[in-house]
């Protein structure tokens, strides 16, 4: 059973996202527009679209997740609620984990749901499409967890959005590589189990390491 504080923070962030629909929908809108433009620019050749589809979907998902990281803690920092959360005596690690979970629910989950639709746009085969969806389901939480660390480190700084990209993007490359590699393996008639194992290991490592690192960074930023 999830801790009550974790559930309360996630539900609170979801309610705030419903009130600020434009900000919440910006990453999804970017994802949709970017993927829609690629077939127009590349051309209608099916074989080429099928080959580049996994990389394009993953890159667009990665960039879309980056768009909202700047606001992960900024609103709570500005109104003082973040400081109250950390001073309440509750676990700062739990607060960091809940914020990352809420970010994935608002940003990452819609991308996972939308990805199969755009896979059809690129004429992907059903099996490759299923693998792509599973890789995004495993990989997008990694982006949110790593992004929470970058957002906490740059909290209150000028040009925080650029700094977050510089910090988080290199750390996200392994998820991108193995996410696209799993689809390429399936399309080549090979097993994608090794890629899924590595993505799972990345998710476990991020889930265990990112919240404590985020909590420590938040304490430093608020001092």
- pLDDT, one tens digit for every residue, the chain (223 residues): 778 888 888 998 889 888 887 777 888 888 888 888 877 777 767 777 778 888 888 888 888 888 888 888 888 888 788 888 888 777 889 989 999 999 999 988 988 888 888 777 777 888 888 899 999 999 999 999 999 998 888 887 777 778 888 888 888 999 999 999 998 898 888 888 999 999 999 999 999 999 999 999 888 877 7
CA distance 61 to 35: 10
3-state secondary structure of 75: helix
3-state secondary structure of 2: coil
* Cβ(104)–Cβ(214) below 8 Å: no
Position 5 scores a pLDDT of 82
Q: How many domains does the chain have?
A: 1
Domain that holds residue 48: 4-222
Position 167 scores a pLDDT of 86
Position 198 scores a pLDDT of 94
Q: What is the dihedral of CA 130, 64, 172, 149, to 10 degrees?
A: -130
Burial class (CB in 10 A: 0-12, 13-18, 19+), 62: buried
Position 32 scores a pLDDT of 84
85: tokens are: 């959360």
């Amino acid at each position: 059973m999830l801790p009550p504080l974790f559930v309360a923070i996630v539900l609170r962030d979801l309610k705030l996202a419903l009130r600020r629909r434009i900000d919440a929908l910006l990453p999804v809108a970017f994802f949709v527009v970017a993927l829609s433009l690629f077939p127009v620019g590349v051309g209608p050749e099916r074989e080429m679209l099928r080959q580049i589809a996994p990389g394009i979907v993953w890159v667009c998902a990665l960039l879309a997740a980056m768009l909202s990281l700047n606001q992960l803690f900024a609103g709570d920092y500005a109104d003082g609620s973040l400081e109250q959360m950390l001073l309440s005596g509750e676990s700062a690690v739990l607060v960091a984990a809940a914020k990352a979970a809420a970010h994935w629910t608002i940003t990452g989950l819609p991308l996972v749901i939308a990805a199969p639709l755009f896979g059809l746009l690129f004429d992907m085969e059903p099996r490759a499409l299923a693998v792509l969806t599973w890789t995004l389901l495993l990989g997008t939480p990694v982006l949110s967890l790593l992004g929470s660390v970058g957002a906490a480190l740059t909290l209150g700084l000028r040009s925080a959005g650029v700094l977050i990209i510089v910090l988080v993007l290199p750390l996200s490359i392994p998820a991108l590589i193995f996410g696209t590699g799993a689809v390429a393996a399936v399309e080549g008639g090979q097993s994608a189990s090794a890629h899924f194992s590595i993505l799972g290991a990345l998710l476990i490592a991020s889930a265990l390491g990112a919240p404590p690192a985020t909590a420590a960074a938040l304490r430093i930023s608020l001092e």
